Amino acid sequence: MPSTFKGRDVISISEFTKPDILAVLKKAAQLKKQPQPKLLEGYVLGSCFFEPSTRTRLSFETAMQRLGGRVVGFADPSVTSTKKGETLYDSIRIVSQYTDVIAMRHPLDGAARRATEASDKPIINGGDGANQHPTQTLLDLFTIQETQKKLENLSIAFVGDLKYGRTVHSLAQALTHFNARIYCVAPKNLQMPDYILDELKANKIKFSLHEKMSDILPKVDILYLTRIQEERFPDRMEYEQVKNIYRLTAQDLHGIKKNLRILHPLPRVNELATDVDASPHAYYFEQAHNGLYVREAVLAMVLGKL
Ligand code: CP
């Protein structure tokens, strides 16, 4: 294990070098092949979810348990002293005294970074507002590598809410290490933020902006769909105008590359029809499954056990 992982916070994928990313993917692949049920015996994960989650929370908690560790935490801040006005700083400072590592999600951008100031234990960001979702990116890359047998020189389309979707922000940043060709497909008001596009430019990553998904479908190796993030819109009318703007159905899957795989961080709403599930190009359920191994790897590495 690179010694730099022990005790490390995982807040933004931009803090991961290419060797860091590859090290996590390698450890995750080892754990997928060979379970290690006692690796984290005696360790406790604090699972602090201030915002709803199915995959991230349950895969972190399952990962810890499958490695022999234990979990304390909450899935709903209304059952904690947050309800009485306790600050994030104070809550995390307390949880860090009971646990060895904390996985957290919070609706505010920057909350995970703020939590690191309160904790002497590693903080793993399970999503902060519209900002970052670094372990999602690691599992996305793991899945891309699993399906394409490589990470370099792939054509990848991001489709949907690229403004508020934290998964696409993190993944676009990570792809700067792998010479990707990126297609950003979104309505004009939900396009990829300029700070991400500037990073792509600075790293000489080719990208283009589109409004129609059909334009790019035949060109890509990975179609990364995202839901319109209803909960982040300040204006309800704006959400109503775009909520059904994209919808992939099985009949759209013609003239596409044989190796195309459809990924989605999930949950899905209307953008991905259930008739796509039976397609050999669909890979989003396997993607969510891979989160288990990637999160096992991240937990074990920050605890210095891999
Ligand atoms: N992909 C993802 O973050 O899903 P959850 O919101 O269910 O954790």
Please choose from 47, 51, 53 the residue to mutate so as to test ligand 1's pocket, defined by most ligand atoms within 8 A of CB. Answer: 53
User: Count of domains in the chain?
Assistant: 2
Dig out the tokens for 77 from the structure. 């801040």
133 carries an active-site annotation: yes
Cross-strand bridge partners of residue 19 = none
- Report which DSSP code applies to 297: H
Q: Are residues 72 and 163 in the same domain?
A: no
Give the list of residues 6+ apart from residue 306 with CB closer than 8 angstroms, or none: 1, 5, 27, 39, 297, 300
Q: Could you give the CA distance from residue 266 to residue 35 in angstroms, rounded to a whole number?
A: 25
Phi, psi of 234 (to 5 degrees): -70, -25
Half-sphere exposure of 249 (CA within 13 A, CB side): 3
Amino acid at 61: E
Residues 258 and 228 occupy one common structural domain: yes
Taking the CA of residue 265 as reference, the ligand 1 atom at the shortest distance is 1
What are the pocket residues of ligand 1 if the criterion is a CB atom closer than 6 Å to any ligand atom?
A: 53-56, 127, 136, 265-267
Comparing 2 with 84, which gets the higher pLDDT?
84
Calpha distance 248→271 (Å, rounded) = 6
**Same-domain pairing of 49 and 178:** no
Measured distance CA(88)–CA(174) in Å, rounded: 28
Same domain, 143 and 122: no
Please tell me whether residues 85 and 196 are part of one structural domain.
no
Global pTM value: 0.97
Query: Quick one: DSSP state of residue 276?
Result: G
Distance 70 CA to ligand 1 centre (A): 21
Mark whether 56 is an active-site residue. Answer: yes
Nearest CA to ligand 1 atom 1: 265
Assess whether 110 and 205 both reside in one domain.
no
pLDDT digits (tens, 9 = 90+) for 202-255: 999 999 999 999 989 999 999 999 999 999 999 999 999 999 999 999 999 999
- From the list 55, 66, 261, 295, the catalytic residue is 55
Q: What pLDDT, in 10s, does the model give residues 4-60?
A: 899 999 999 999 999 999 999 999 999 999 999 999 999 999 999 999 999 999 999
For 270, the domain range is 134-288
Instruction: Note whether 22 and 127 are same-domain residues.
Output: yes
Q: Assign residue 231 the CATH number of its domain.
A: 3.40.50.1370
- Same domain as 113, residue 42: yes
